[in-house]
Amino acid sequence: MSGQQLQQPVFEVDGWAGNTVDEDGVEWWVTSEQGWAATPPVRLTLTDRPERNGAFDAPSYRCPRVITLEGTAIAPDRAVREAAKDRLAAVLADGSGLVPLVVTEPHRVRRALVRLSAETKIVDRKAGVFEFSLTMTAPDPLRYSYGLNVRTCPLPSSSGGVSFPLTFPLDFGSGSSGGRLLLENAGTAPTWPVWRIGGPCVQPVITDTATGEELAFDLTLQDGEFLLVDTDARSVLLQGTASRRAALRPGSDWFPLRPGQNPVLFRARDFASAARLTAEWRDAWI
């Protein structure tokens, strides 16, 4: 948890917080930030056209987000300064997993999952003062909302839920009801949801009715069983552990939630009042 704020943005990671005064009275001033507000580098691989000008076009992708925080720590005395240096050296020292970096900005709170990616630099200045540099890397270059969005709906009250053929886009209005979800990504970049389908449910289908993209599964979930579908990891897990990727119907699409409102339809072969579709996602920004 952060202490008293000195200014925004406040950077919190692994028990340390920049631009705050901690419980020992140390002021952690972040004087330079690189990599958080700016976009990550672009990775573009083009193949030169032989004996012609230019190159063959290819998609571009974002590199990991590298964030460097530089600043000055001001402690009440030298003893407190030395203890503060030890605490800073321990930030992100465990490299076994990713840790949330939470950034409190004037307009919103966002986060990224990071790990330490360079040595932490500490340089003594005058009594009680030292300068520092902390560098971390987020393998996923997107910045996400701190809060997790969750929405749930049952199946439509009639078997199958809709009449065929479908005409896209379908407009269900706002809110949610049987078989329908209107999911809003308040960010500026597509975000990848996690779907949870709770049984009983036979041959469930999740459709983005604006684009016609859908995830369809040839399986039956019994009462009490659930299917966890992570669209970013491209995984399909029964009870969250056993892979059922083979149950994914050919022609299915791994679709994201695009910025703005995303109308989603949940249907199955048979109606079951206890069946549920739950969507979990975070708003995303590049």
Query: Where residue 45 sits, what CATH number does that domain have?
Result: 2.40.30.200
- Tens of pLDDT, residue by residue over 2-45, are 579 999 999 999 999 999 999 999 999 999 999 999 999 999 99
Q: Does residue 158 sit in the same domain as residue 221? A: yes
More confident call, 282 vs 169: 282
This prediction has a pTM of: 0.87
Q: Does residue 172 sit in the same domain as residue 133? A: no
Q: Does residue 161 sit in the same domain as residue 115? A: no
* Pick from 80, 90, 156, 112: nearest CA to 11: 112
Rounded mean pLDDT of the chain?
Answer: 92
Q: Using the predicted structure, report yes or no on whether residue 224 has a pLDDT greater than 60.
A: yes
Q: Does residue 185 sit in the same domain as residue 278? A: yes
Percentage of the residues of the chain whose pLDDT score is greater than 90: 89
Give the pLDDT of residue 191: 98
- Tens of pLDDT, residue by residue over 42-75, are 999 999 999 999 999 999 999 999 999 999 999 9
Q: Using the predicted structure, report yes or no on whether residue 226 has a pLDDT greater than 80.
A: yes
Give the pLDDT of residue 183: 98
Q: Which of 145, 176, 211 is the last residue of a domain?
A: 145
Range of the domain at 59: 4-145
Where is average pLDDT lowest: 47-56, 173-182, 202-211?
173-182
Q: Does residue 195 sit in the same domain as residue 273? A: yes
Give the pLDDT of residue 127: 86
More confident call, 172 vs 183: 183
- List of residues 6+ apart from 221 with CB closer than 8 A: 197, 198, 199, 200, 201, 202, 204, 227, 238, 275
Q: Does residue 67 sit in the same domain as residue 108? A: yes
Q: Does residue 127 sit in the same domain as residue 140? A: yes
Alpha carbons 7 and 106: distance in angstroms, whole number: 10
- Tens of pLDDT, residue by residue over 128-167, are 999 999 999 999 999 999 999 999 999 998 544 444 455 5
Q: Which of 111, 129, 145 is the last residue of a domain?
A: 145
Give the pLDDT of residue 218: 96
Alpha carbons 280 and 16: distance in angstroms, whole number: 28
Q: Does residue 177 sit in the same domain as residue 223? A: yes
Tally the domains of the chain.
Answer: 2
Phi/psi for 86 (5° steps) reads -65, -40
Q: Which of 145, 161, 177 is the last residue of a domain?
A: 145
- For tokens 């990504």, the residue is 185
CATH number at residue 188: 2.60.120.860
Q: Does residue 126 sit in the same domain as residue 47? A: yes
Q: Using the predicted structure, report yes or no on whether residue 265 has a pLDDT greater than 50.
A: yes
Q: Using the predicted structure, report yes or no on whether residue 172 has a pLDDT greater than 90.
A: no
Q: Side chain identity at 265, as an amino acid letter?
A: L
Q: Does residue 197 sit in the same domain as residue 138? A: no
Give the pLDDT of residue 164: 46
Give the pLDDT of residue 162: 46
Q: Does residue 106 sit in the same domain as residue 121? A: yes
Q: Does residue 264 sit in the same domain as residue 179? A: yes
